[in-house]
Amino acid sequence: MTNVRTRFPPSPTGYLHIGSARTALFNYLFARQHGGEFVLRIEDTDRERSTDEAVKVILDSMEWMGLDYDEGPFYQTKRFDRYREVVEQLLADGHAYKCYCSPEELTEMRETAMANKQKPRYNGYWRDRSDPPGEGIEPVIRFKNPTTGSVVIDDAVKGPITVENSELDDLVIMRSDGTPTYNLCVVVDDLDMEITHVIRGDDHVNNTPRQINIFKALGADLPIFAHLPMILGEDGKRMSKRHGAVSVMQYAEDGYLRDALLNHLVRLGWSHGDQEIFSVGEMTKLFGLDNVNSSGAVFDVKKLDWLNQQYIQNASTDTLATGLVEHLGKAGVSTENGPAPALVADLLRDRAVTFAEMAQGAKPFYQAPTEYDAKAVKKQFSAVTAEHLQLVHDKFAALPEFTATAIDACLQASVAELEVGFGKIGLPLRIAVTGTTASPALDQTLAVMGQDRVLGRIKTAVEYCRSL
Ligand code: GLU
């Protein structure tokens, strides 16, 4: 195979959609697997809808996902001269023509077609005309689509797709204000950037025959086209906000690991036997267009959660600690004057689905409870509890080393001495240190929290219980 070159050309009109991220990933993997290049192109010709903010979101999303590109970002708005040059060439070669139809004439044309139960389309009025145009009308430039024969897309995912040329009308390639249109820009860019494989969502499959005809008119070889199946929500409808977050950065924000998200994305339409977990290295080795499914792929948030949990459980302590600090920071919690985040992260790794959840569970390690869970207080706190907690406090205070084993021994001794069940001490103690009854193993929680912090919090709870 010649040197493989793929591209990812998002339009910067909002957040980076999860479907676009899947397209980016497939293009990235395909290029990497073949030792080729991956190009990033920003399709910003729609000046009204494109924003700098959205460009930044694209660049940030690519960086967060770790999808490094070898070339770009190229901006279509910087290439207008080149598009004009190609339009001139198409005009000169007889593959394009000026159309002077007024908006009213075009509306009439559409209405007549519809009245005759035909597709509303341009009827080629100016295609072969040489009579002078009306005064003061700036023409658009249309591509002279072949009128006979058919176009075959030899789609690497969907197989051959044949479209009759008679179905395609003469597309506007340059508007009357001189701005080029999407289908022209894409072809010129894919040509100039020497793209060998166009891998994109199947919402573009209708554009492809038109683009193929332009490629041919320019005497160019065709890239290989691969149209990826649509991403669906669990109800089988096109994935939208109703089904969960659709923006890549929202997943980063919510504390998903990039490897888990990429793992989830790669399985949207691609499979390798029944394997579910793929590292980026593995996907790069195994990915192929031949194993891309042509029917819709379901985005199941529960599956992503499961994957994320797997990745959290198996992540290095460093990765977890970094993620935890970042997400605690977002929640306004500093880890500076508390236990080492690595210890907290390791303690919580089996319980958290996301970093956001982990940060929530880690808060008590860095912030004393400002209030106690009301229901728990009602059930577990009383004047007697104060005495129980005081005993535990004094035993803890005497410990030379505040380890989980020593803590556990203290708790057992207190239970024996007070002749109560473990819950009578364990539950109030949890409330005293975390504010709620939910936390990982108590002895470990306390050990990680540290002796001084634990003693201080028990004291506060004792006073609180006495005041009841
Ligand atoms: N800019 C187009 C989009 O964001 C992509 C076009 C293409 O892949 O050819 O949908």
Residue 170 placed within a domain:
yes
> What pLDDT shows up at residue 435?
95
Range of the domain at 31: 5-71+187-231
Residue whose CB lies within 8 A of the most ligand 1 atoms, among 79, 200, 246, for a mutation test: 200
Residue pLDDT, tens place only, 3-49: 999 999 999 999 999 999 999 999 999 999 999 999 999 999 988 89
Please state the length of the chain.
468
Distance 384 CA to ligand 1 centre (A): 69
Same domain, 415 and 395: yes
Domain count, the chain: 5
Distance 155 CA to ligand 1 centre (A): 17
CA 216 – CA 210 distance, rounded (Å): 10
Residue 317 pLDDT greater than 70, yes or no: yes
Same domain, 63 and 191: yes
User: Which residue minimizes the CA distance to atom 8 of ligand 1?
Assistant: 200
Residue pLDDT, tens place only, 418-445: 999 999 999 999 999 999 988 889 999 9
The rounded mean pLDDT for the chain is: 95
Banded model confidence at residue 154, pLDDT cuts 50, 70, 90: very high
CA 294 – CA 194 distance, rounded (Å): 26
Domain end position, chosen among 127, 142, 174: 174
Which residue type, as a one-letter code, is found at position 225?
A: F
Cα separations (Å) of 19 from 53, 166, 264, 317, 369? 20, 32, 12, 31, 42
Give the least confident one: 120-129, 336-345, 399-408, 446-455. Answer: 120-129
Within 6 A (CB) of ligand 1 lie 9-11, 43, 186, 200, 204
Distance 285 CA to ligand 1 centre (A): 26
Q: What are the residues whose beta carbons fall under 8 Å from the beta carbon of 105, sequence distance 6 or more?
A: 125
Q: Give catalytic status of residue 459 as yes or no.
A: no
Cβ(21)–Cβ(40) below 8 Å:
no
Residue 181 placed within a domain:
no
Residue pLDDT, tens place only, 82-113: 999 999 999 999 999 999 998 889 999 999 98
Give the least confident one: 166-175, 231-240, 362-371, 399-408. Answer: 231-240
Same domain, 54 and 123: no
Residue 397 placed within a domain:
yes
> What pLDDT shows up at residue 245?
78
Same domain, 223 and 161: no
Question: What is the domain-level CATH number for residue 435?
Answer: 1.10.10.350
CA 55 – CA 78 distance, rounded (Å): 14
Residue whose CB lies within 8 A of the most ligand 1 atoms, among 8, 11, 202, for a mutation test: 11
User: Which residue minimizes the CA distance to atom 9 of ligand 1?
Assistant: 186
Beta bridge partners of 99: 140
Same domain, 218 and 246: no
> What pLDDT shows up at residue 145?
97
Residue pLDDT, tens place only, 280-298: 999 999 999 999 998 889 9
Same domain, 66 and 111: no
> What pLDDT shows up at residue 103?
87
Helices (H), 287-419: 301-314, 317-330, 341-348, 355-366, 374-380, 383-397, 404-418
Banded model confidence at residue 331, pLDDT cuts 50, 70, 90: very high
Question: What is the domain-level CATH number for residue 276?
Answer: 1.10.1160.10
**For the CA of 10, the nearest atom of ligand 1:** 4
How many CA atoms lie within 13 Å of 193's alpha carbon, on the beta-carbon side? 28
Residue 366 placed within a domain:
no
Residue 179 placed within a domain:
no
Give the least confident one: 42-51, 200-209, 235-244, 404-413. Answer: 235-244
Residue 76 placed within a domain:
no
Same domain, 85 and 150: yes
Same domain, 249 and 220: no
> What pLDDT shows up at residue 238?
86
Same domain, 92 and 170: yes
Residue 367 placed within a domain:
no
Residue 219 pLDDT greater than 80, yes or no: yes
Distance 9 CA to ligand 1 centre (A): 5
Residue 213 placed within a domain:
yes
Same domain, 298 and 320: no
Same domain, 381 and 458: yes
CA 84 – CA 86 distance, rounded (Å): 5
Distance 64 CA to ligand 1 centre (A): 21
Question: What is the domain-level CATH number for residue 32?
Answer: 3.40.50.620
Domain end position, chosen among 145, 174, 203: 174
User: Which residue minimizes the CA distance to atom 6 of ligand 1?
Assistant: 9
Residue pLDDT, tens place only, 455-468: 999 999 999 999 98
Give the least confident one: 64-73, 121-130, 215-224. Answer: 121-130
Banded model confidence at residue 1, pLDDT cuts 50, 70, 90: low
Question: What is the domain-level CATH number for residue 101?
Answer: 3.90.800.10
> What pLDDT shows up at residue 169?
93
Q: Among residues 56, 78, 237, 241, which one is catalytic?
A: 241
Same domain, 67 and 191: yes
